[in-house]
Chains A and B, each alone.
Chain A
Amino acid sequence: MNLSRKWLNEFVKVDIPDREFAEAMTLSGSKVEGVSVEGSEIKNVVVGRVLSLVRHPNSDHMWICQVDAGQTGPIQIVTGAQNVKENDLVPVALDGSTLPGGKEIHTGKLRGELSNGMLCSFAELGLDQRDFPAAYADGIWILSDDPELTGLTVGQDIREAVGLDDHVVEFEITPNRPDCLSVIGLVREVSATFDVPYDLHEPVVKGGGPGALPELLDVETPAADLVPRYTARMVRNVKIAPSPKWMRERLRAMGVRPINNIVDITNYVMLEYGQPMHAFDYRYVNGGKIVVRRAEEGEKLTTLDGREHTLNTNHLVIADEGRAVGLAGIMGGENSEIVDDTADVVFESACFDGTCIRKGALALGMRTEASAKFEKGLDPMNTLPAVNRACELVELLGAGEVVDGVIDILNNVPQPWTVTMDPEKVNALLGTDIDPVDMYCLLERVNILTREKDFPNGPAEVVIPSYRGDVRRLADLAEEVARFEGYNNIPTTLMRGQTTQGGYSPAQKLENKLGALCRTCGYSEIITYSFISPAAYDKILWGKDDAHRKSFKILNPLGEDTSIMRTTTLPSMLEVLGRNWNNRSKAAWLYELGRIYMPKTSTTPVDAGDPALTTAKERLENMGLSGFTEALVDAVNDMGRDDGLADEAQILTLGAYGGGMDFFTMKGAIEALLKSIRAKDVRFEPCAEDPSYHPGRCAYVYSGTDIVGVFGQIHPLAAQNFGVDGELYCAELSFDELLMAQGPDPEYAPLPKFPAVTRDIAVVCGEEVSVGALEAAIRRGAKGLLKEVSLFDIYRGKNLGENRKSVAFNLVLRADDRSLTSEEADADVKSILETLERDCGAVLR
């Protein structure tokens, strides 16, 4: 909302610099977004009088003028314009002046003749014909030809001379304060903020126009529920003309283009009162009858902007006997528009249902100034003063004759309401110690008054002005008190009261721990969007009918790329890896702990006759508690019901390339993670069936019988889909499974008191035997002394034969209660070797 400070000053005098004004208003709740000064780009342009002009000796179209610009002597200026005469008053841009758009004017020579500046057109001053309808468009602006420009003096700053010097304050008005979307609303706020009185003007209409209103116009509101109030007046023998300079100036300052006197009056009143007004041409209101009704299904209406709309019963229209002539609260119809030969005008000043207007405007894609105001809910008490103000302006401008009387239909005008003010409770809520009388004093500033003669010292009823629909209970009064006491005068205290035990849940602790571990392993954290493109599932090579493709679909996405909620984090990670790859970063090791969004599936509902419940039911009934069965059924069904929300599981995703990354580097990190959380019974099994991964370089991660996740090299075709022709490695670990796999807190085990015996063994076996199988056989074969097994070499060579390999392990054997003898250790190793040979066909090399 823009506010002209000149307009403001008509009602409340506050003459302080813009910056202080803006700060004070911001701190009382009307946030100032900025202040602009009209004409601030214009510098050193003054009113000048053309003393004489002669033809330029070297040009057939230029003139050399001698101009009095209020300086010690006349100055010479060359102009190419043909409309300048002796004695004209014109805008003169002096040497060193600037014009809108940053254009600078300096003394120079034009075809050999000195020119000490420039004579200006209105366009060169950033104005247009609508601002000065009397001005000559194709040449220099002859100020002295415009009867509206009076009191001009030579040398006067042009901005002041033509009224281009208003200061305009831009406010951010919060949705609870539609009353502040008007000059008068802001006048009240300014008055309250600076504690200076304001003086509103009571419109006075002389009337006496020809005819009697009841015979000329009849209004019906069959859609009474959507029309709390409808007020209208008529103006006859209208003379359409430009509106006067002062009105044009104010409209321009507020960002509204002047059109003609009648349209400008409606806009002026809308800005001043915040009440949207509409003017129709009476001759097109057939039968002199206005009907405010719901549109018929399929009814057509072309609005002022030339667009044709097909309406339905959700839309509210202004109609005559037969057809719609306007979209109520949004825009008038083309068929009743004010035109140059309009003679009789109906001014509509109504209050429409906000939700209806909002939905209508949204459905038709035409949010207008008027609809934006209506949708916030306007004060029905404002329609009458606004229409009277419009009629008063008609008379002031001599734009027509106002017919006596007002049509005013009140369908639903709220009664004045009161709220109980309780100073003690307000102080308790704010943490302040404000004197009750001072509180009532602050409320009085915003016209919230007690009915009592003196300010009370305790609780009292206060009456809320009709335009303050946002003030309904004590908390709202507390805010009013706080606003004018000053939020920054409220003390600052720290919380007291019962202490609570805060902190992280076990799951959050694990989240923090896993993040720290990933970073320790060299992976950096990323954050990716939760929504992806459906095509992402193709890119990671999922089958067309893969069940995991079933995703939450956003019905109104920004675009296809962000249209479904991911059921896998893999494409998000691959996209980031691809981006880094394409940025030519040599290595990127990344992790994300992010959610996937799985649709919930309802479990089949059970009913009271379900056999599974029979036993429970019988037992309960034997106890005389028959009613409980139904409660039990409800509880079971509640748990299994799909409530429309997602199962939002967290996935720890690792992704990496470069820097020595390979399958076993990533496996090392996963092992480190699992070891650090003391996961039990961790093992890895090959996974050839995940389509996103290399079938020979992918593994499931198990803890016990549960699959914690999967990891491996990304399938080269999938990598290509993300623009990568190298090896990418990823892991997807379920956070819930990690939480389950987490082992108990560590317990100290005594350090070994006796020395260990170490033995290295190398066995030769077929390629098909996995290291895991050998290791398992070693553990099985040991007779209780084996403490550690570690792989230290795998060797392949011609001497071993085709498809054979030699695998070497380091064994650590120890007894807890004695030093082992060599014989004891040998016995264990012998058993191990026997098991290896028997179970794996592995023989000592």
Chain B
Amino acid sequence: MKEQLAKIRAEALSAFESVKDAAALDELRVKYLGKKGELTAVLKQMGRLSAEERPAMGQLANEVRAALESALDAASQKMEAAALELKLKAETVDVTIPGRPVSVGHRHPMNAALDEIKEIFIGMGFTVLDGPEIELAELNFDRLNAEEGHPSRDWSDTFYFDEDSRVMLRSQTSPMQVRAMDSMPLPIRIIAPGRVYRKDEVDATHSPMFHQVEGMVIDKNVTMADLKGTLNLLAEELFGQGTVTRFRPHHFPFTEPSCEMDVQCHKCGGAGCPTCKGEGWIELLGAGMIHPHVLEMAGIDPEEWSGWAFGMGLERTAMRRFKIADLRLIFENDIRFLEQF
């Protein structure tokens, strides 16, 4: 009997070792470990043994069973691993086949640039204001020191809805300064983006409708140094760390002192090239300290409060930001253009 067990063990282990597939393995399991299997058959002979022999033989039989079961498990695991490997191999895909398209729309580049600007100012505690595009000349001009006779009020420059030149399409976002002063408690920090209109024929750099963003701060002890610091920050956020700016005196009726901010030409680094018309600088925006008379007209005492304001063209900023060569692309809305942003 002992010999029988040893034989079964040797045969079975060798068979498990060399088995090829799951079905064959199952056959072997039945053959050796099944109810009618060889091991069971041997164990059935236990009754014939003497009482002295039985425990030793029983132990031996259990050892053989355990060995066979463990070998069977190992063989089975090995086989499963092989099968899985085979399956995975069969499931291999060509990763260079394009993905199933998920079409996601695109932000218009002009608004993409505006979003960046909004985020910068919101971070500094600014409120975003919207206002009417069909506006009173009083707010667009008179309240901003551009009195009767100012050239920008000409019918050749500004669109009007009535013969008295009272209602117009705003030519700048600056009337939002007045609307903010008239309606908000001090101190004020606002930006006001929106559409503006001027009587320019369409070409590569002009459009009768375009967008500006106005910014204004009114508070105690606001200085021109603050204006410069804030606008420098804006330039760096928009055009990258280390962007070089310069401020030049300029004239706007509603700011004094007034300035324009230039950004050093990205193409030539200030040496002068066709992009910057040889100047080395590209004009970015106009700004200044709010004219005391503008504050007075809004009932704000310029002795107590001061402020600064700026206005910048958004198309031009977007064009510079994304290197768009022709303003007409902005309003043509060609899907092949829009998909680039």
Contacts and interface: CB of A to CB of B under 8 A. Distances in A.
Interface of A: 26-29, 31, 34, 174-177, 354-355, 358, 362, 375, 428-432, 473-476, 478-479, 482-483, 487-488, 490-505, 508, 515, 518-531, 552-558, 562, 565, 576, 579-580, 583, 585, 587-591, 595, 597, 643-646, 648, 659
A474 B229 CA distance: 23
B111 A555 contact: no
Contact of B169 (A28, A521, A554, A591): A554
Contacts of A645: 132, 134-136, 167
Nearest to A573: B333
10 contacts: A174-B250, A362-B154, A431-B224, A503-B127, A524-B335, A555-B155, A585-B334, A597-B133, A645-B134, A646-B134
Contact of A479 (B123, B136, B258): B258
Nearest to B260: A31
B106 A525 contact: yes
Contacts of B220: 497
A595 B167 contact: no
Nearest first, the 10 closest Cβ-Cβ pairs linking A and B are A431-B225, A431-B223, A29-B249, A479-B257, A174-B251, A519-B105, A522-B103, A526-B333, A487-B247, A492-B229
A355 B154 CA distance: 12
A518 B134 CA distance: 28
Contact of B230 (A175, A375, A494, A501): A494
A206 to B, nearest CB: 41
B135 to A, nearest CB: 7
Contacts of A648: 132-134
A597 B134 contact: yes
Contact of A558 (B151, B199, B224, B250): B199
A557 B111 CA distance: 26
A490 B258 contact: no
Contacts of B103: 522, 589, 659
Nearest to B118: A504
Contacts of B166: 644
Given A502-B122, A524-B105, A428 B128 contact: no
B284 interface: no
Given A493-B229, A525-B108, A583-B336, 16 more contacts: A31-B250, A431-B225, A482-B224, A483-B257, A488-B247, A491-B225, A493-B226, A493-B228, A497-B219, A500-B188, A502-B121, A502-B124, A522-B103, A555-B163, A579-B333, A646-B133
B309 interface: no
A524 B339 CA distance: 8
B201 interface: yes
B265 interface: no
B54 interface: no
Contacts of A558: 199, 201, 208
B289 interface: yes
A527 B105 contact: no
B126 interface: yes
A530 B338 CA distance: 20
B140 to A, nearest CB: 12
B174 interface: no
A644 B166 CA distance: 9
A501 B169 contact: no
Nearest to A478: B257
Contact of A504 (B128, B197, B217, B258): B128
B107 interface: yes
A490 B135 contact: no
Interface of B: 103-108, 110-111, 121-128, 130, 132-136, 148-151, 154-156, 159-163, 166-167, 169, 187-189, 195, 197, 199, 201, 208-209, 217, 219-226, 228-230, 232-233, 246-251, 253, 256-259, 277-278, 289, 291-293, 306, 330-336, 338-339
Contacts of A490: 224-225, 228, 247
A374 B228 CA distance: 35
Contacts of B249: 27-29, 479, 482-483, 487
B246 A488 contact: yes
Nearest to B292: A475
Contact of A522 (B104, B156, B197): B104
Contacts of B256: 475-476, 478-479
A678 to B, nearest CB: 22
B221 A508 contact: no
A552 B159 CA distance: 11
Given A475-B291, A487-B247, A502-B122, A495 B338 contact: no
Contacts of A590: 333, 335, 338
Given A554-B169, A590-B333, A475 B257 contact: yes
A522 B105 CA distance: 4
A556 B159 CA distance: 6
A580 B334 contact: yes
Given A476-B256, A482-B257, A497-B221, A554 B160 contact: yes
A431 B125 contact: no
B158 to A, nearest CB: 8
B105 A494 contact: no
A520 B105 contact: yes
Contacts of B106: 519, 524-525
Nearest to A35: B278
A555 B330 contact: no
B115 to A, nearest CB: 8
A527 B187 contact: no
Contact of B223 (A483, A493, A518, A576): A493
A27 B209 contact: no
B108 A526 contact: yes
Nearest to B195: A530
Contacts of B124: 495, 502
A194 to B, nearest CB: 16
Contact of A487 (B134, B226, B232, B248): B248
A531 B224 contact: no
B257 A527 contact: no
A328 to B, nearest CB: 17
Contacts of B125: 499-502
B331 A527 contact: yes
A491 B229 CA distance: 8
Nearest to B105: A519
Nearest to B122: A502
A552 to B, nearest CB: 6
Contacts of A565: 134
A55 to B, nearest CB: 50
Q: Which of A475, A476, A478, A488 has the most CB of B within 10 A?
A: A475
Contacts of B123: 502
A508 B128 contact: yes
A843 B142 CA distance: 74
A522 B166 CA distance: 43
Nearest to B332: A579
Given A175-B151, A524-B105, A429 B224 contact: yes
A428 B223 contact: yes
Contacts of B105: 518-525, 589, 591
A498 B127 CA distance: 14
Nearest to B164: A644
Given A29-B250, A358-B149, A525-B107, A580 B335 contact: yes
A487 B229 contact: no
Contacts of A474: 292
B127 A552 contact: no
Given A428-B221, A583-B334, A495 B257 contact: no
A502 B222 contact: no
A525 B111 contact: yes
A482 B248 CA distance: 10
A579 B126 CA distance: 39
A520 B106 CA distance: 9
B155 A556 contact: yes
B251 A176 contact: yes
A429 to B, nearest CB: 6
Q: Which of B226, B232, B291 has the most CB of A within 10 A?
A: B226
Contacts of A482: 224, 249, 257
B187 A497 contact: yes
